[in-house]
Amino acid sequence: MNTQILSARLTLTKVALHDWELIRSIYSNPTLMEHIGATMSEEDIRRNFEKELAPWSLDSTHWLTWIIRETDSGNDVGLISICTRNREHLTAEVGFIILEGSKGKGYATEAIRRVFDFAVDTFGFNKFTAVCSEEHAASRRVLEKAGMKLDKIMPESTEIAGKMVNDCFYSLES
Ligand SMILES: CC(C)(COP(=O)(O)OP(=O)(O)OC[C@H]1O[C@@H](n2cnc3c(N)ncnc32)[C@H](O)[C@@H]1OP(=O)(O)O)[C@@H](O)C(=O)NCCC(=O)NCCS
């Protein structure tokens, strides 16, 4: 599988062993995890990280993760991942995290659009889904800019930092 994807400003590279420090810092950062869930222990972060180093196919149960970098500067921007949710109906879920210093530049939207195109061309996915909390306005805006539609809002469906939040379920059929 092609491990590098290019968009106008970004280079997406499949996560590799040398990305450990970046991954550890993302999942232990309370600000970045505010709308996703509790920060994770280093052990749990490492366990997930090692799963994601494995080769990926449509039948994999682990996430396929790319590190996002600015092509011009080489600076880390964040990460984006997809995971097969329905093998028969070729449906994938997308998740993404942009570092504090790279927010507000349209990078999340650019990366999602590019990953959707790549995933359709390479794996034949014909539907994408995403979940975020109702109060997470920036993420909802990103999903809408990427062409996703709000299917439903499920009340009090996830606990984040001891509080039940409503989840928004988005989808896009290619
Ligand atoms: C949510 C996140 C991915 C956005 O990344 P980003 O690169 O800044 O996103 P973009 O620049 O592509 O687009 C952000 C959009 O949200 C809007 N926005 C940002 N903060 C907002 C807020 N508080 N309320 C409403 N809209 C907001 C921006 O104005 C922009 O929309 P616009 O282009 O119409 O002006 C990033 O903040 C992040 O990674 N947060 C932490 C991890 C996370 O929550 N991931 C998503 C899990 S569901």
Note the pTM of the prediction, 2 decimals: 0.97
For the domain spanning 4-125, the CATH number is: 3.40.630.30
Q: Which atom of ligand 1 is nearest to the CA of 97?
A: 39
98: CA distance to ligand 1 center in Å? Answer: 9
Pocket of ligand 1 (CB under 6 A): 32, 35-36, 78, 96-98, 103-109, 132, 136-139, 141-142
Domain ranges of the chain: 4-125
47: CA distance to ligand 1 center in Å? Answer: 28
Q: What is the pLDDT of residues 59-97, one digit of tens each?
A: 999 999 999 999 999 999 999 999 999 999 999 999 999
Q: What is the pLDDT of residues 6-54, one digit of tens each?
A: 999 999 999 999 999 999 999 999 999 999 988 889 999 999 999 999 9
Mean pLDDT check: name the lowest of 25-29, 138-142, 161-165. Answer: 161-165
| pLDDT of residue 161 exceeding 90 | no
| pLDDT of residue 167 exceeding 90 | yes
> Which amino acid, one-letter code, is at 149?
K
Q: Which of 22, 32, 141 to mutate to test the pocket of ligand 1 (most atoms within 8 A of CB)?
A: 141
Q: Atom 35, ligand 1: which residue's CA is nearest? A: 104
